[in-house]
Structure 1
């Protein structure tokens, strides 16, 4: 029952009931990424602003734009004509896997001296001069 209420009343926990209705009528599933996000393209140009078909994503869980990997981002913004399911981007050996924005999570970066790591840092060395008003 709670999932049904989330679908009806919240937009940040995936798609609402209205979006599911629109997608079933106007869209075609193009693919799914490793995070479980689903990507759609309009069946025709009826809802488009230009000569391109409209494209959109339905997030798996919380709606956060940084959860869209670079190859799908390029497809959504019409940088690539073919979706990554048909024409995947070539990966270089030095490239890291895509990770969403981790700020505000337990996996966020916490440098030395941050309050989240105890707030202790090294004392200032001799190259520091305190400012004093004249």
Structure 2
């Protein structure tokens, strides 16, 4: 089931086509702090060399750091480690998108927080036509 599952389940990791393309026509460019590995095609097509990432763990685009995101989208020509200045002391690491997890924001009145909202304060007046 391993090969069959890998062909069709892109959310579980690299598909068969991506893995084959990586082995046949890709060259490893670098790795980020999360363990994601970045590749680019050996040959250019239409003036660009195709670039892609093999995620370590779950495929989630929010796990690509901003500098590598710029490289993937051809904003940067050189690898971020070589072309960007070192991070400033006030810069923080990016956070993963918490939507759908326990860390997601849930306002008062959300079903996950009991579904009870505070009573209206009386400063609201309903609109009536012609009034």
Q: TM-score range by the shorter chain?
A: 0.7 to 0.9
**Structure 2 spans left out of the alignment, 5+ residues:** none
Structure 2 vs 1, CA of residues 132 and 91 (structure 1 numbering), >3 Å: closer, same or farther? farther
**After the TM superposition, which residues 1-134 of structure 1 pair with which residues of structure 2 at under 5 Å, given as runs?**
4-45=3-44, 48-49=45-46, 51-132=47-128
TM-score when scaled to structure 1? 0.79
CA-to-aligned-CA distance 1:59-105 (integer Å, 9 cap, x gap): 22332222211111100111111222323454345443212322111
Structure 2 vs 1, CA of residues 3 and 86 (structure 1 numbering), >3 Å: closer, same or farther? farther
- C-alpha displacement at 1:41, in angstroms? 1.1
- C-alpha displacement at 1:108, in angstroms? 1.1
Taking the aligned partners of 1:10 and 1:30, their CA distance within structure 2 comes to: 25
**Structure 1 spans left out of the alignment, 5+ residues:** none
Structure 2 vs 1, CA of residues 130 and 35 (structure 1 numbering), >3 Å: closer, same or farther? farther
Large movers: runs of 4+ above 4 Å: 2-5
CA-to-aligned-CA distance 1:16-61 (integer Å, 9 cap, x gap): 222211101111111122332211011121xx23x22111112223
Taking the aligned partners of 2:111 and 2:128, their CA distance within structure 1 comes to: 27
Q: Indicate the RMSD between aligned Cα atoms, in angstroms.
A: 2.3
- The answer to which structure, 1 or 2, has the higher relative contact order (CA under 8 A, 6+ apart) is 1
